[in-house]
Amino acid sequence: MIQAALSPLSRYRVAHSQDPDEFKTLVAGVFRDHEFAVRRSSGAHAAELNHCPLGDISVNYIAYGAEADVDPGSLNDFYLIHVPLKGTSIVEIGGEIVHTTPEQAVICSPSKRVRFQWSDDCGVLAIRIERAAVERQMTALIGAPAMRSPNFDPRLPFNAQSSWRNLANFMCIELGNDRHMFAPPIARVAVGQMLITSLLTQHGHDMRHLVDRPAVTVAPRHVRKAEEYMAARLAQPLTMAEIVEAVGVSERTLFEGFRRFRNTSPMAWLKARRMEKAHEALVRGDTNSSVTEIAMEWGFFHLGNFSAAYRDAYGERPSETLKKAQDRRY
């Protein structure tokens, strides 16, 4: 197990509190809003939060100091590696139950609903990884835009033979130094990329087949030209016939190019880019915009289908994203 003296990351303390409401607010600032209920408290343990940001990842130590239920819903914007350094927790991820210990960690994917039950003595190393960074690295690995975020196998072994534990141990020890190697911005970027690449290439997920397949050559000009044409007209009605005419190849050739080099179809690529724009608008939370207006602005005229596709991509209904964004403005 990671040495107890180093595990709390006490140099980076954000909170050490007996006030549950205050602590919940501070945790939400580092992670996200969540429901929190104390089942039982002996009063022997104070709640503690230590937080060290490292670019696209952050390394954190959190203990609630009580037997507690924690329900953040879906994480949406980040992945979370959850490792009890002491005590235990029960984690429900997308309906699957994992009993975590210092030798059995979990990784929570953004679109999966997650809930935690903490023992009163549970202290967790929690590594937050930004969803956008995972998608960027996935794109770099497969040589094509990642059409969505991967969903990881939630069980992450953390026994004595685990490379993940060795990496976490190294990070905690190094961050305990006065002049740790992660201080320069370039080093923070590098450690984040190393962790993300290791997860994508060595741990199970539902897009692993794309990572493992032989590398393809650069997409041909007609595929890139079609992407440029569609990207410049995301808010305009587009038909396949118009795209084919603009690119100057047959529909069959264009479909085959997208299938081989992008693992999707041209219209699916277009829909994914429009969904990203709709998500960005919902996250901004403009007070004069409704879900219907945003959906229609980006070409989604069947609101039921839009809501279902949005929930598959981002783990919550579009109305929930908009409400949270608007609540933050006030």
CATH top-level class for 10-212?
mainly beta
Q: Is the dihedral of CA 238, 240, 243, 245 positive or negative?
A: negative
Distance CA 170, CA 178 (A): 15
Distance CA 288, CA 112 (A): 30
- Pick the closest to residue 168 from 116, 129, 115 (CA basis): 129
How much is the pLDDT for 224?
92
Answer whether 0.85 is exceeded by the pTM.
no
Distance CA 51, CA 170 (A): 17
Q: For residue 276, report the phi and psi dihedrals to the nearest 5 degrees.
A: -60, -40
Q: For residue 47, report the phi and psi dihedrals to the nearest 5 degrees.
A: -70, 140
- Pick the closest to residue 275 from 240, 238, 310 (CA basis): 310
**In the β-sheet with 96-100, what is the strand arrangement from edge to edge?**
35-40, 67-74, 113-118, 89-93, 96-100
How much is the pLDDT for 282?
92
- Pick the closest to residue 169 from 7, 280, 299 (CA basis): 7
How much is the pLDDT for 217?
63
Domain borders along the chain are 10-212, 221-328
How much is the pLDDT for 8?
65
How much is the pLDDT for 17?
82
Distance CA 12, CA 113 (A): 29
Question: 1.10.10.60, 3.40.50.620, 2.40.110.10, 3.20.20.140: which CATH number matches 221-328?
Answer: 1.10.10.60
How much is the pLDDT for 330?
60
* Same fold for the pair 10-212 and 221-328: no
How much is the pLDDT for 215?
59
How much is the pLDDT for 173?
85
> Exposed, middle or buried by CB within 10 Å (0-12, 13-18, 19+), for 35?
exposed
How much is the pLDDT for 92?
96
How much is the pLDDT for 4?
38
How much is the pLDDT for 163?
86
Asked if 133 and 196 touch (Cβ cutoff 8 Å), the reply is: yes
Split the chain (330 residues) into runs of 10 and give each run's mean pLDDT. Answer: 54 87 90 88 78 93 92 93 93 94 94 93 94 90 81 91 85 85 85 91 91 74 93 91 93 91 89 92 84 91 90 87 78
How much is the pLDDT for 59?
94
Question: What string of DSSP letters covers 26-79?
Answer: HHHHHS---EEEEEE--S-S-EEEEEEEETTEEEEEEE-SSEEEEEEEE--SEE
